[in-house]
Amino acid sequence: MKTVLQRPGRKGRRKEIRTAFAFLFLPVTIYLVWIIGPMLYTFYLSLTDWDMFTAPRFVGLSNFRRLSNDPVFHRSLLNNLKWMAVFITIPIAAGLALAMVLNRKVRGSTFFKVSFFLPMVLSLVVAGLVWSWLYNPAYGLINVLLRTVGLPYLARGWLASANTAMESIIAVGVWRQVGYVMVFYLAGLQSVNQDLVDASRVDGASSWKSFRHVVLPQLAPITTVVIVISIIDSLRVFALVSVMTGGGPHNSSNVLANYVYLTGFQWYQMGYAAAIAVVLFLLASVFIVFYLSRIAKEEDHA
């Protein structure tokens, strides 16, 4: 006998709706209070002049007009773009290469997977402190090694020079990001159709052509996710800069998130800090919307 599934009656549907609302009430309330509320308040503060001690004074778009003439904001934005350019190239290429090598069943692959991912386990503050010691001009391991191997002229104050501070911090970010990207690609390689790879090799394709024309297209969804995550990470970078240089010397290593912190909580210009935060939010939103639209298109094609 066939079992006939009956739709719940009106009372049953009402009960289901009440149950759904009961389960959603707490998380939605927390989200509104802790995420949406502060976000909307930040938009409001960006239109005010507030020193955190007196009542906010509405100034319209004055804070945003001030941004256009602020050299520190321009430098911070440029540094964020530098982070972005590096994060969508070096960590992705290195992470993919490591994933391709470690995806093979070779001796010690598990050890190397853990070793390359280990930097992501460390907090950004701890990583920043450790690398600050390594970069120390007097007793840091980097300069000590350079002097030991006979290259003392390469030793320098890596974080004290405007010419090297930003690049030195970015190097630490890359060191952490490579293992993170590697894990994404290791997961993506599990879904690659190996029969297609074998067929391409039988047809005479070289290892490079097989990777380029067979493996890489199948990793396209993972690559999209990795690129968007890397872009967002590059825009919200804060802890490494704050711990290692504080944005110095002479704002050469400043980024937008650190500039927001300095402006709001050290210089007490909370309205102007909120305007910088709004710009940062809008930049990140562009890439988030792009990512969501890509996911939606892939689901439609699936």
Q: What is the largest CA-CA distance in the chain?
A: 88
Q: Say how far apart CA 291 and CA 296 lie, in whole Å.
A: 9
pTM passes above 0.85: yes
In the chain, alpha helices (H): 10-31, 37-45, 62-67, 71-87, 90-102, 109-121, 124-134, 141-148, 165-189, 194-202, 207-210, 216-218, 220-235, 239-244, 256-261, 270-301
Query: What's the confidence (pLDDT) of residue 1?
Result: 46
Q: Say how far apart CA 231 and CA 88 lie, in whole Å.
A: 7
Query: What's the confidence (pLDDT) of residue 301?
Result: 63
Residue 38 placed within a domain: no
> CA 163, 237, 233 angle in degrees (round to 5)?
120
Residue 16 placed within a domain: no
The 10 Å CB-count burial string (b at 16+, else e) for 106-136 is: eeeeeeebeebbebbeeebeebbeebbebbb
Query: What's the confidence (pLDDT) of residue 206?
Result: 83
Q: Say how far apart CA 259 and CA 241 lie, in whole Å.
A: 10
Residue 14 placed within a domain: no
Query: What's the confidence (pLDDT) of residue 8?
Result: 58
CATH number at residue 97: 1.10.3720.10
Residue 192 placed within a domain: yes
Q: 10-residue block means of pLDDT along the chain (302 residues)?
A: 55 79 89 92 95 92 95 96 94 94 83 90 93 94 94 92 95 95 93 86 84 89 89 92 94 95 95 96 86 72 60
Residue 43 placed within a domain: no
The DSSP secondary-structure symbol of 15 reads: H
Phi, psi of 48 (to 5 degrees): -125, 170
For 223, the domain range is: 71-301
**Closest-CA residue to 237 (of 282, 185, 173):** 173
Instruction: Please name the residues in contact with 261: beta carbons below 8 A apart, sequence gap of 6 or more.
Output: 238, 242, 273
Query: What's the confidence (pLDDT) of residue 3?
Result: 52
- Which residue's structure tokens are 């319209």? 60
* Cβ neighbours around 162 below 10 Å, total: 12
Residue 98 placed within a domain: yes
Distance of CA 73 to the CA centre of its chain: 20
- Which residue's structure tokens are 């840091």? 140
Number of domains in the chain: 1
Give the CA-trace dihedral at 116, 118, 121, 124, to 10 degrees.
-70
DSSP state string for 129-177: HHHHHHT-TTT-HHHHHHHHTT-GGG---TTT-TTTHHHHHHHHHHHHH
Q: 258, 236 in Cβ contact below 8 A?
A: no
Q: Please, how many CA atoms are within 13 Å of residue 267, restricted to the half-sphere of its CB? A: 13
Residue 58 placed within a domain: no
